[in-house]
């Protein structure tokens, strides 16, 4: 039986990071629908079925190029979200020693030492200078 399953899966996409995310989302939605039986709990089962169908469609698909592109877009998006979270966490750790400001020209985040009063700040990215309170 295992050999037949392996033979069936040859040339198919299989499980990737996007499919794992969809399955985890499905599990969370199933738990939510069990907890909240009224209201939102009635809306969730059709959404769960659609996500499960999409997961199996992607898993059994033979269009490896398109599924690979979908997975790489998902990984890039996930990395951008994780990166933003890491930056916010680092700013939170440094909040006692530094103040974080945005450049009015290019919107880059700048770090200045706290307790210096009103100072002239020069953006390293665009070279714009502006006054800011630290």
**96 to each of 10, 69, 115, how far by Cα in Å?**
56, 43, 10
CA distance 3 to 120: 70
Q: How confident is the model at residue 28 (pLDDT cuts 50, 70, 90)?
A: very high
Is residue 101 within 8 Å of residue 109, measured between CB atoms?
yes
**pTM of this structure:** 0.72
pLDDT at 119 > cutoff 80:
yes
Q: What is the pLDDT of residues 55-88, one digit of tens each?
A: 999 988 888 899 999 999 999 999 999 999 999 9
User: What is the reported pLDDT for 132?
Assistant: 86
User: What is the reported pLDDT for 41?
Assistant: 78
What does the pLDDT average to over 8-21?
A: 85
Gyration radius (Cα) of the chain, Å: 24
User: What is the reported pLDDT for 8?
Assistant: 77
Per domain, the residue ranges of the chain are 2-93, 98-133
Q: How confident is the model at residue 18 (pLDDT cuts 50, 70, 90)?
A: very high
Q: How confident is the model at residue 40 (pLDDT cuts 50, 70, 90)?
A: confident
Beta strand 109-113 pairing with 129-133: unpaired
């Amino acid at each position: 039986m295992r050999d037949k399953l392996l033979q069936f899966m040859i040339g198919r996409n299989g499980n990737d990071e996007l499919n794992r995310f969809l399955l985890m989302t499905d599990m969370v939605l199933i738990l939510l629908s069990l907890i909240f039986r009224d209201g939102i709990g009635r809306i969730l089962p059709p959404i769960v079925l659609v996500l499960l169908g999409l997961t199996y469609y992607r898993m059994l698909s033979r269009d490896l190029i398109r599924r690979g592109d979908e997975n790489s877009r998902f990984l890039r998006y996930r990395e951008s979200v994780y990166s933003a979270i890491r930056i916010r966490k680092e700013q939170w750790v440094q909040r006692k020693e530094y103040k974080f400001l945005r450049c009015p020209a290019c919107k880059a985040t700048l770090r200045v030492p706290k307790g210096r009063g009103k100072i002239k700040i020069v953006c390293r990215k665009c070279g714009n200078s502006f006054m800011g309170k630290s």
